[in-house]
């Protein structure tokens, strides 16, 4: 039964996503920012329903533009965050080459970074600064890679610099996946292909994603490392796990 339901969800997700690619490439390029935000919210919420993920939002996100930092577990993270507050994502350059989802990422103005190229960080930081000056919300996963969702990895502060320099508030968020109310790694794509991960998701019958919005961080009077440490403390506490930044400080 799970296989049949999973196959149906998988097929529907692919058809829905292909239709959305056309909308992204044809429609979204010409609409106002307000209509674009509305479309992204509706589309992302619908896709989560189609694949069988029950979205729960805990807390209220900052009303104005900000830098959102979140833990990274699954490619579904993007859709959950876009329901809460659509914005421009910072993503690894490999995503641009992903089938289907790479086209969508390009169409919604994702900023791509080559993780092994230090010059790329400087370029992306300038793009982040430009976007923040235009009052656009930026979203990034400062762990730098995905985790299974059971721990928090040390946060990299490099890409937080533009927010600190421009005094833009930082909004920490944690993403918690559960299966029948219990923590799960089913949505993680740490050691699995994109479509293998999607198959695990669509064949689950009790999967939920809680987007937990944490207290806003005011960067005034702080440097990027202090902001990263504050975000890490808030995020690890909300996840109920050890703070990796505190552990690093103890070792140093």
- The pLDDT, as a whole number, for residue 252 is 46
Is 71 in contact with 239 (CB distance < 8 Å)?
Answer: yes
Distance (Å, rounded) from C-alpha 228 to C-alpha 69?
9
Domain residue limits, the chain = 2-251
Is 176 in contact with 183 (CB distance < 8 Å)?
Answer: yes
CATH for 2-251 is 3.40.1130
Which residues contact residue 199 at a Cβ distance below 8 angstroms, ignoring those fewer than 6 apart?
Answer: 6, 10
- The pLDDT, as a whole number, for residue 58 is 97
- The pLDDT, as a whole number, for residue 108 is 65
- The pLDDT, as a whole number, for residue 203 is 93
pLDDT, tens digit (0-9, with 9 covering 90-100), for 112-124: 777 666 677 788 8
Is 180 in contact with 206 (CB distance < 8 Å)?
Answer: yes
pLDDT mean by block of 10 residues, the chain; 252 residues: 86 87 74 79 93 96 95 92 90 70 69 70 85 91 88 92 95 96 90 87 94 97 96 96 77 46
Cβ-based burial of 136 (10 A; exposed 0-12, middle 13-18, buried ≥19): middle
- The pLDDT, as a whole number, for residue 251 is 45
- The pLDDT, as a whole number, for residue 155 is 95
Nearest to 172 by CA among 184, 155, 158, 186: 155
């Amino acid at each position: 039964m799970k296989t049949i339901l999973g196959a149906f969800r998988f097929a529907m997700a692919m058809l829905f996503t292909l239709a959305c690619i056309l909308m992204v490439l044809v429609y979204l390029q010409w609409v106002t920012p307000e209509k674009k935000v509305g479309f992204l919210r509706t589309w992302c919420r619908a896709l989560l329903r189609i694949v069988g993920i029950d979205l729960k939002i805990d807390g209220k996100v900052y009303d104005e533009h900000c830098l959102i930092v979140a833990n990274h577990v699954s490619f579904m993270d993007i859709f959950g965050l876009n329901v809460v507050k659509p914005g421009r994502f910072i993503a690894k350059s490999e995503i641009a080459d992903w089938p289907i989802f790479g086209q969508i990422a390009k169409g919604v103005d994702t900023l791509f970074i080559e993780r092994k190229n230090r010059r790329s960080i400087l370029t992306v930081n300038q793009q982040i600064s430009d976007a923040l000056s235009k009052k656009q919300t930026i979203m990034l996963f400062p762990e730098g890679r995905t985790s299974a969702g059971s721990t928090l990895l040390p946060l990299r502060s490099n890409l937080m610099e533009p927010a600190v320099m421009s005094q833009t508030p930082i909004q920490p968020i944690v993403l918690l996946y559960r299966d029948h109310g219990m923590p799960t790694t089913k949505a993680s794509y740490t050691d699995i292909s994109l479509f293998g991960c999607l198959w695990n998701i669509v064949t689950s019958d009790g999967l939920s994603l809680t987007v937990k919005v944490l207290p806003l961080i005011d960067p005034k009077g702080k440097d990027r490392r202090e902001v990263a440490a504050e975000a890490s403390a808030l995020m690890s506490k909300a996840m109920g796990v050890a703070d990796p930044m505190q552990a690093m400080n103890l070792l140093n």
